[in-house]
């Protein structure tokens, strides 16, 4: 099964950047987000695909009020990455 590595990297970079701008340690954000520091580290490095649930938990841990606020890139580009990811999943199932 293929993943969307570019999307994973982008989201991970944004999470790390926002966390650092807020002066939070990885451990503190993990605690507030109800996920392990190891898993959060893997997400920030783009090594792990981010589920919608974990994205929402991380956004809440960062004190964000609007769902999806972490992704600041072009919305069309985000949809393209999501399309590629879903397409890769379909191909893996065949």
Mean local confidence (pLDDT), 23-48: 97
Domain at 21, CATH number: 1.10.260.40
What is the value of pTM for the model shown?
0.72
Contact of 22 with 74, CB cutoff 8 Å: no
pLDDT score of 35 more than 50: yes
Counting residues of the chain whose pLDDT is more than 90, the rounded percentage is 47
Task: Enter the DSSP assignment of 66.
Answer: S
How many domains are there within the chain? Answer: 1
The domain of 86 spans 5-93
Please give the pLDDT value at position 1. Answer: 33
Higher pLDDT, 86 or 71: 86
């Amino acid at each position: 099964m293929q993943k969307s590595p570019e999307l994973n990297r982008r989201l991970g970079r944004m999470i790390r950047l926002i966390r650092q701008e807020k002066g939070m340690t990885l451990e503190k954000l993990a605690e507030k987000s109800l996920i392990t520091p190891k898993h959060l580290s893997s997400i920030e490095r783009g090594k792990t695909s981010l589920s919608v649930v974990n994205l929402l938990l991380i956004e809440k841990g960062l004190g964000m009020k609007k769902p999806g606020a972490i992704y600041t890139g072009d919305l069309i580009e985000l949809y393209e990455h999501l399309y590629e990811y879903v397409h890769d999943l379909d191909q893996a199932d065949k």
